[in-house]
Structure 1
Amino acid sequence: MTHALSLKAASQRWASGGLALKLAVLLALGVLVAAPLLRIFLETLGPDAIAAWTDVTASRLSRNLLWLPLANTMILGFGVAAGCVLIGGYLAWLVVMTDIPFRRTIGLMATLPFMIPSFATALAWGSLFRNSRVGGQVGFLEGLGLAVPDWLAWGIVPTLIVLIAHYYSLAFTVIAAALATVNSDLVEAAQIAGAKRGRILMGIILPVALPAIVAGASLTFAGAVSNFAAPALLGLPVRMQTLATRLFGLIEVGQTARGYVIAILLIAVSALFLWFGNKVISGRRSYATITGKGGRAKRFELAGARLPLFAVALAICVLTTIVPVLILIASSMAPSSSALFSNWTLHYWFGASDPAIAQGQAGVWHNPFILSATSLTVGLGVTVAVTGTALGLIVAFVLARHGRGPLAGAINQLSFLPLLVPGIAFGAAYIALFGAPIGPLPALYGTFPLLVIAGTAYLLPFAVQTGRAVIQQVSGDLDESARLTGAGFFRRMGAITVPLAIRGLAAGALIVFVKIMRDLSLVVLLFTPTTPLLAVLAYRYASEGFTQFANAITVVILVISIAATLLANRLQAKSQPWLKS
C-alpha cells in the first residue's frame, strides 16, 4: 500500500512538474534544430571532408572561396546596419518625438518595406537601372537613352541600397518603441533649464535609445549578411560574391563539404554580431524611462522645418514601398523593361503559348508549372503555419507553466537558436541531415515533408513568441483546475487555451504563413523541379532573363503576403484591444 502511494505521488510530481512534456519538447527541438546544425559541422570533419577547411581558409582557392566573399559580406553588413539605423532612427524620431504632420501615415508606411521581399525590391531596381553590361534586356533609364554606370546597375552599391530599403523597417520599429518610453519630464526639465535641442538629443534621448539603436544595428547586420536574394540578383551577374551566394554556388555544383564550411562560417559571423548586440543591451539596462507618473508626450516643435522634414520622410517611404510595387506591376505587362509604361500587354499574365513571345512561355495563369508552384507554395505556407503554431504553442506552454530548471533553459535556448542561423545555412544543414537515408527513413531531399520540417524549425522563434502572448492571456488557474480533474495536456489545450485565444493564434499563424511564402534564402537550396516554389521560380526566371514572368510571380507573392498580413493585423487588434490605443 505504501509503495503504491509513493508511486502515485511520484506520478503526480512528474505530471505537475511537466517533466514528461519537457523531455518530449526537448527531443523534438533536438531533432528539428540541434541535429541539423550538429550534422553540418560533423560533415566537415569526416576523413574525406576535413581538407575542405584548408581549401576554404588557407589555400590558393581561399581568396575566391572565402576572403573576397567575406569582405563583401562585411561591407554589406556594416553598410546596411549604418544606413538602417540612420534612416530608421530618423523616421522614428520624427514620428515619436516631433510634431511632423501625418505622423501615423509615416509610421505605417515605415513598417511596410519589410513586408516586401528583398528580391522584389532587387527586381524593381533592375527594371529601372539595369544596363547592357551582362546582356539581355536593359532597364527603363537606359531605354530612355541615359547611360547607367556599371556601379549603379550591378554590384555592391545597388545591393547595399536594396538591402537598406528592405531592412530599415526593423530599425524603425525597435527605435520607435524605445523613443516612445522617453520620460517627457526629463525633456521638459532640460528645456526649462535652457538646453538646446541638440544637447537634449545627445544628452537625454540618445542615451535612452542607445540599446535600441544597437539592437536595430545588430538585427539589420545579421539580416544583410545572410540575405541571398539581393546579392544573387544584383551581384552574381558581375561575379560579386557574398558568403550566402558562395554557399549556394558550392552546394549547387556538388562541393558540399566546402559549402558546409562556408555555412558554418556564415552562422558564426551572424551569431557573433547578434550576441554582441545583446551583450551591449544587457549591460545598459539601468535607464529608467517609465515612471509611475502620468503625462503627455512632449514633442519637439519643428516650426519652419516641418514641411521639408516631412517631404524627406514621405519620399523615403514612397520610394521603398509604393514605387517598387508599381514598377513590378508595370514591368509584368511591358514588352521590355526599357519601355515600362508603353505597349502594355496581359500576355505575361493570361496569354497562351506564343513562339514569338518569351520563347513560347505561356502566361502565369496558363502556365501549369507556375500554377503548380502557386498551389504548392500556398500549401506549404498553410502547413507550416499550422505545424509551427502548434509546436510554438506547446513550447510556450512549457516555458510559461514549467519554466524552471535546466531542461526549461535548454528548451528556451533551442527554440530561439534559429534566429542566429541564416536561412540559406539552415537549408544547407537540413540537406546535410536529411539528404541521405537515416536508418529505415528514406532521404527526404526534394520532398514536400522536408520543406515543411525545415520551415517549421526555421520559423519556430516567431511561433513561440506568439504562443507566449497567447499563454499569458489565459490564466494558469484554469489549466490547473482542469488538470486536477484529470484532463490530459492535449485535452486542456484543445478545450481551454486554444478556444480562448484563437484570434491571437490565427494572427500568429498568418505571420508564419507570410514569412514562409516570401522566404527565398531558406528554400533556395531545398528547391527541386518536383517541389517548385514561387519565390525560387521568380529568382530562376529573373536569372534566365524572363523579367516579366519573374515580376509577375513576385506580384502574386506580394498580393498574398499583404492580404495575409492585413488580416493578421486585424485579428491582433481584436484579440489585443490595447493595440488600438
Structure 2
Amino acid sequence: MADTLGNIQRRRFLHQPGIVLKTVVLTLLVLLILLPLARTVLFTLQPDVIGAWTDVLTGRLSTNLFYKPLGNTLIIGAVVASGCVFLGGFLAWLVVMTDVPYRRLIGVMATLPFMIPSFAAALAWGSLFRNDRVGGQIGWLQGMGLQIPDWLAWGLVPTLIVLTLHYFSLAFTIIAAALATVNSDLVEAAQIAGAKGHRLLTGIILPVTTPALVAAGSLCFAGAVSNFATPALLGLPVRMQTLSTRLFGMIEVGQVGRGYVIGILLVLISGVVLWAGNRIVSGRRSYATITGKGGRAKRFNLRGARWPLFALAMIPLFASTVVPVIVLIASSLAPSSADLFSGWTSHYWIGESDPSFAQGIPGIAHNADIVRALMVTLALGLSVALTGMMIGLLASYTTARFREGWMSAAITQISFLPLLVPGIAFGAAYIVYLGAPIGPFPALYGTFALLVIAGTAYLLPFSVQTGRAVIQQVGGELEESARLTGAGFFRRLMAITVPLAVRGLAAGGILIFVKIVRDLSLVVLLFTPTMPVLSVLAYRYASEGFAQFANAITVVILAISIAATLIANRLQTKSQPWLKD
C-alpha cells in the first residue's frame, strides 16, 4: 500500500505542468551558480585551510590583509555611490524635467560611459596624469612641464574620479526612468500654491524619487567595491589595496585560502548593500506617482541658465566618453605618453619586431600573442552569447509559462544571484569549483571551456532578463494551438517562439557578447598564457610598463564593443518600432 501511494505521488509530481522542464532548468542553475559558491565556502572550512579565516579577520596580518583594504573599499563605494547619484541625478533632471538645449544629446552621451570598460578610462587617466613617482613613462601633462602631484596621479583620488565617471550612467538611467513617471498633478498643485523651482525640487521631486535614488546608489556602491581594474591600475603601483586587488594578489602568490576568504567577505558586503537598498525601496511604496489622470508636467524653464547648465553638463560627459577615446587612440600611436600628439608611429599596430624599438615587441598585427587573444576573445564572446541566451531563454520560458510552485520561484531567485557576486570573486569560485578534477571529469583550469562556463553563469541575469522580454512578445495562445496539434516542447520553441522573437534574441546575445568581451574582473583569475583574452592582456601590458600596447589593445576592445552595441541597437529598433523617432 505504501509503495502504491509512493507511486501515485511520483506520478502526480511528474504530471505537474512543466515539471520536467523546471527540474532541468533548476539543475542547470544549481550546477552553474550555487555549487561554485558553496564549494568555495566549504573549501575554506577544510582543516588545513580554516586557519585562513583567523589570518584574515584576527591574525597579526589582518590589518594589511583585510581591514585596510576594507576601509579603502568602503570609502570608494560610499564616495562613488554619492557622486554617481548626484551627477546622474543632475543629468537626469536636466534631460527629463527642464528645457535645457540638446536634451537628446545629453541623454545619449549620459548612457555611453557604462559601455566603456573601466580599465579604458583608467589607462587614459594614466596617459594624461601619470608622474614619475613609480618610474617608467610619464603622462602628457607632466611631459608638458606641469608638476602632477602624487595624489592626483595615483591612489584613491584618481580611482574615485574614474569610477564615478564610469558608473554615473547607471544612476542616470535609473533616476531618469523614475523622473519620467512623476505625476503632473503633484507639480502643478505646488506651482498653483506658489512654489518655486528649488522648492519643487526639494519638496516633491526628490522625495517621490527616493526609491530610485536609493536603488541607483546601492547598485553603484556594489559596482565600485567589486571593481578590480581601476584600483589595480591606479592604486597598486603605490600599494593602495582594495578587497578586490587583495583577493587577486593572494591567489596570484598561492595563498588561495586567504584569497577565497576575502572573496567570500566581498560577496557578503556587496550582498548586504544591495539587500539594504532593496529593503529601503520596498519600504517606500507609498510614494505613488502614476495614477489614472494627469499628464506630463511642463518642463522647468531655466531661462538664462539654459546654456550655462548645458555647458556644465557637457564637462563630465566629454570627460567620460570623448576624452578617453581620443587619449587612448593618440597613446597607441605616440612613442611616449609624455609627447602624446606628435611623432606618431604605426609600430604598435602594424610594426614588425625591432630590437631597437619597444624592446622588440611587434605591433598588434604581427604579435602572435595578441592575435591569438583576439581570436580567443571573439570565440569566447560568441560562445557565451549563444549558451547564455539558450539557458536564459529556457529559464525565462519556464518561469513565464509555468509560474506556480516553489521551483519557479527558486529559478527566478537563483538566476539573479550572480548580480550579488563581484566578478573577481565569481572567477575565484570557479577556480575552486572546476580547477581540480571532479570524479571522472578532468580539471578545466586553463581551458576554453572554463571561460565559457564561468562567463555563461556570471551573465545569466542579463540573458534571463532578455529571455523574459522575448517570451512576453509571444502570445501563449500560439503555443497552445501548436500543443493541441501534437507539437512537443522543443518543436514549439524552435518553430514559434524563436522565429517570432529572433531579433530580440539576437540583440540580447550581442549585448552579452559585449559584456564578456570587455570584462576584466571575471577573467583575470582564469587567464593563462595558453588561453589569453584581450582585456587581461591589456592589463598585463599596462602593469609591465608597455602603455602603448595596452592602449592599442583597449582601442580594439572598444571598436568591437561599439560596433556590436550599434548592431544590437539597430536590431532592437527594428523589432520595436516605438523606439524610432
Same fold (TM over 0.5): yes
Q: Show the counterpart of 1:472.
A: 472
Whether 1:278 aligns to 2:278 is yes
Q: CA deviation at 1:28?
A: 0.4
Q: CA deviation at 1:241?
A: 0.3
For the 8 Å contact 2:99–2:301, the answer to whether it is kept is yes
Query: Structure 1 residues 164-173 or 402-411, which shifts more?
Result: 402-411
Whether 1:552 aligns to 2:537 is no
Q: Show the counterpart of 1:308.
A: 308
Whether 1:374 aligns to 2:378 is no
Residue identity matched to 1:319: A
- Taking the aligned partners of 2:417 and 2:483, their CA distance within structure 1 comes to 31
Deviations 1:61-108 (A, max 9, x none): 100100000000000000100000010000000000000000000000
For the 8 Å contact 2:376–2:531, the answer to whether it is kept is yes
Q: Show the counterpart of 2:82.
A: 82
Alignment of 1:239-258 (within 5 A): 239-258=239-258
Alignment of 1:172-571 (within 5 A): 172-293=172-293, 295-571=295-571
Secondary structure of the 1:134 match is: coil
Q: CA deviation at 1:570?
A: 1.2
Residue identity matched to 1:104: R
Q: CA deviation at 1:10?
A: 8.6
Q: TM-score, normalised to structure 1's length?
A: 0.97
Q: CA deviation at 1:294?
A: 5.2
Q: Show the counterpart of 1:171.
A: 171
- Taking the aligned partners of 2:23 and 2:9, their CA distance within structure 1 comes to 20
Q: CA deviation at 1:15?
A: 5.4
Deviations 1:197-246 (A, max 9, x none): 12211111111111000000000000000000000000000000000000
Structure 2: stretches of 5+ with no match in the other structure: 1-6
Q: CA deviation at 1:569?
A: 1.0
Identity of aligned residues (%): 70
Deviations 1:478-498 (A, max 9, x none): 122222322222111100100
Deviations 1:238-295 (A, max 9, x none): 0000000000000111111100000000000001101111111111112221222352
* Runs ≥4 residues deviating over 6 A: 7-13
Secondary structure of the 1:133 match is: coil
Q: Show the counterpart of 2:65.
A: 65
Residue identity matched to 1:182: V
Whether 1:51 aligns to 2:29 is no
Query: Structure 1 residues 10-19 or 91-100, which shifts more?
Result: 10-19
Q: Show the counterpart of 2:4.
A: none
Residue identity matched to 2:210: L
Residue identity matched to 2:232: A
Residue identity matched to 1:558: L
1:48–1:170: structure 2 CA closer, same or farther, 3 Å change rule? same
- Taking the aligned partners of 1:233 and 1:367, their CA distance within structure 2 comes to 23
Residue identity matched to 1:42: L
Q: CA deviation at 1:572?
A: 1.1
For the 8 Å contact 2:187–2:297, the answer to whether it is kept is no
Query: Structure 1 residues 199-208 or 376-385, which shifts more?
Result: 199-208
Deviations 1:287-320 (A, max 9, x none): 2212223524420000011111000101111111
- Taking the aligned partners of 2:335 and 2:11, their CA distance within structure 1 comes to 71
- Taking the aligned partners of 1:361 and 1:92, their CA distance within structure 2 comes to 46
- Taking the aligned partners of 1:300 and 1:13, their CA distance within structure 2 comes to 59
Residue identity matched to 2:455: G
- Taking the aligned partners of 1:315 and 1:257, their CA distance within structure 2 comes to 45
Q: CA deviation at 1:537?
A: 0.3
- Taking the aligned partners of 1:219 and 1:149, their CA distance within structure 2 comes to 32
For the 8 Å contact 2:170–2:220, the answer to whether it is kept is yes
Q: Show the counterpart of 2:18.
A: 18
1:12–1:49: structure 2 CA closer, same or farther, 3 Å change rule? closer
Residue identity matched to 2:504: G
Deviations 1:444-495 (A, max 9, x none): 0000000000000000000000000000010111122222322222111100
Q: CA deviation at 1:577?
A: 2.0
Secondary structure of the 2:209 match is: helix
For the 8 Å contact 2:184–2:294, the answer to whether it is kept is no
Secondary structure of the 1:379 match is: helix
Q: How many residues align?
A: 577
- Taking the aligned partners of 1:484 and 1:448, their CA distance within structure 2 comes to 43
Q: Show the counterpart of 2:35.
A: 35
Residue identity matched to 1:132: D
- Taking the aligned partners of 2:14 and 2:403, their CA distance within structure 1 comes to 14
- Taking the aligned partners of 1:129 and 1:404, their CA distance within structure 2 comes to 57
- Taking the aligned partners of 2:58 and 2:456, their CA distance within structure 1 comes to 37
Q: CA deviation at 1:170?
A: 0.3
Residue identity matched to 2:315: A
Q: CA deviation at 1:9?
A: 12
Residue identity matched to 2:576: Q
Q: Show the counterpart of 2:127.
A: 127
For the 8 Å contact 2:183–2:296, the answer to whether it is kept is no
- Taking the aligned partners of 1:528 and 1:402, their CA distance within structure 2 comes to 42
Residue identity matched to 1:529: P
Q: CA deviation at 1:566?
A: 1.0
- Taking the aligned partners of 1:228 and 1:135, their CA distance within structure 2 comes to 23
- Taking the aligned partners of 1:87 and 1:373, their CA distance within structure 2 comes to 36
Q: CA deviation at 1:578?
A: 2.4
- Taking the aligned partners of 2:470 and 2:333, their CA distance within structure 1 comes to 44
- Taking the aligned partners of 2:115 and 2:54, their CA distance within structure 1 comes to 40
Structure 1: stretches of 5+ with no match in the other structure: 1-6
Whether 1:159 aligns to 2:150 is no
Secondary structure of the 1:132 match is: coil
Secondary structure of the 2:416 match is: helix
Whether 1:101 aligns to 2:101 is yes
For the 8 Å contact 2:185–2:294, the answer to whether it is kept is no
